[in-house]
Amino acid sequence: MAPTDQDPLLLLRQSIASGSAIMPTASADAAAPEVSLSQATYLTFTSPTRISLPISTPTRFISNDTPVDLRSIYFAWLNREVAIPEYNSFASQLNQDLGGKGQVHKFAYIEKLELMTWLEGASEDSECIKPLAGDKDGSASTAAAALASKGTTAPVAGSALGRSGKGTLDPRLASIYNSERKMGDRNSVLRGIKPTDFSHVRKLAASFMTKKPLHPSSSNVASNPSIASHQKQKRPDPIILLSPSASSLLRMSNIKSFLDGCQYVPPNSLTATSSTTANMLHINRLMKDIDTNRPMRFILVEGTEQFKPEYWNRVVAVFTTGQTWQFKNYKWSNPNELFRHIPGIYVGWRGEQPPESVRAWGHRVMNVAVDRWKNPGTTTVDSSRWRDREAVEGVWKAIESNMRAKGWKRDQAPSSI
């Protein structure tokens, strides 16, 4: 059986895409009933065939250099809509119920976001998920994941199953597979049966390379393996911190309509598009001065409780109301020190002076003014809010300018800020 057929992550993603049942069971028997997660020793997938894997099976998802087990992955998926504090509470309760028979891993919220995005099929790669064994470039796992996201599986010659899913070989598929032309991999094509030395080809090619030099950027990459490996690294997502204060004009419930839709609505308005219980959001924005072809995904959060030290190098803006308690758990709790590293943004009503604390922080905090909301109870868009777009574009321009100054590039983020 191919590695992709019993890979826990791919099986879970395929089952989610097809909507098939996933059952925790106490045995691998086909008739085993579903049990609670604390009593389960197997996780049974029902599509395309019934496969039971030990629930403690380590997966390719790596956290702190340690593979995360299948129970923790499945538990995180069940609680994907739950806020981080409640998720941690549920995980602690499950650990107590397990009674030492296992331990549920508690994901940091950036890790959880990466995992949920991959399982839902919104992305085909993740810096936390290792490629399958023998698939160094990730092509096989990416193809299998793409098929899984469409509710299908990669066909494997000699192991095709019929529609019944009980292990019966479909004669029509067997006939098709028998007519297939066997394709060799790159090793068999280049080397054949015996290892072949191709070092002499380099001498023959040297004369051609001197006459027709490669493009400067390409030659630099070819001659410097460290540059080539660095370019293959995935660019991390920048982070924007919001103020958790109840007096803030921008909260998780309305920040997306402001930064993405260029329309300000009150946090508690009926027109607010995001759930007030969400603890993280992401917005795609094309930053033309950094990458003209690929939009950047910005992660928006209110708290830093689950921050790893390296996450601070990815913070590109901090929204504030001027209340210093917001920075208590930040890497730099002193506002003057904080805004020397990260630009601040204060959003207030047009015609009103910002708080004294914001004015004292000087040019390091950008003041953005928006018009007051005229119809707080309406469900329609206020057509008079055309000046919101000007304010939003000013915010993005300031963020992009700071990112370029800090060293954000098309394929990498700054190592320190």
Could you read off the pLDDT of 253-288 as tens digits, one per residue? 889 989 988 888 888 875 555 555 567 888 999 998
Distance CA 175, CA 177 (A): 6
Q: Identify which of 60, 80, 84 has the alpha carbon closest to the alpha carbon of residue 70.
A: 60
CATH 3.40.50.11990 in the chain, residue ranges: 239-406
Instruction: State the alpha helices, DSSP H only, in 232-354.
Output: 255-259, 335-341
Residue 318 has pLDDT above 90, yes or no: yes
Structurally, what CATH architecture does the domain formed by 239-406 represent? 3-Layer(aba) Sandwich (3.40)
On average, the pLDDT of the chain sits at 79
Report DSSP state, residue 278: -
Q: Which residue has the higher pLDDT, 194 or 389?
A: 389
Distance CA 183, CA 191 (A): 14
User: Minimum mean pLDDT among 21-35, 143-157, 162-176, 301-315: which range?
Assistant: 143-157
Q: Identify which of 249, 235, 417, 228 has the alpha carbon closest to the alpha carbon of residue 341.
A: 417
The sign of the CA dihedral 73, 75, 77, 80 is negative
Could you read off the pLDDT of 293-302 as tens digits, one per residue? 889 999 999 8
The sign of the CA dihedral 144, 148, 150, 156 is positive
If DSSP codes are grouped into helix, strand and coil, which group holds residue 401? helix
SS (H, E, C) 11-68: HHHHHHHHCCCEEEECCCCCCCCECCCCCCCEEEECCCCCEEEECCCEEEEEECCEEE
Q: Which residue has the higher pLDDT, 382 or 355?
A: 355
Could you read off the pLDDT of 155-176 as tens digits, one per residue? 443 344 443 344 455 677 777 7
**pLDDT tier, 393 (very low <50, low <70, confident <90, very high otherwise):** very high
Residue 407 has pLDDT above 50, yes or no: yes
pLDDT for the residue 273: 53
**pLDDT tier, 314 (very low <50, low <70, confident <90, very high otherwise):** very high
| Mean per-residue pLDDT, 341-348 | 94
Residue 367 has pLDDT above 90, yes or no: yes
Residues 6+ apart with CB under 8 A from 155: 173, 177
Residue 151 has pLDDT above 60, yes or no: no
Distance CA 281, CA 314 (A): 15
Q: Which residue has the higher pLDDT, 136 or 45?
A: 45
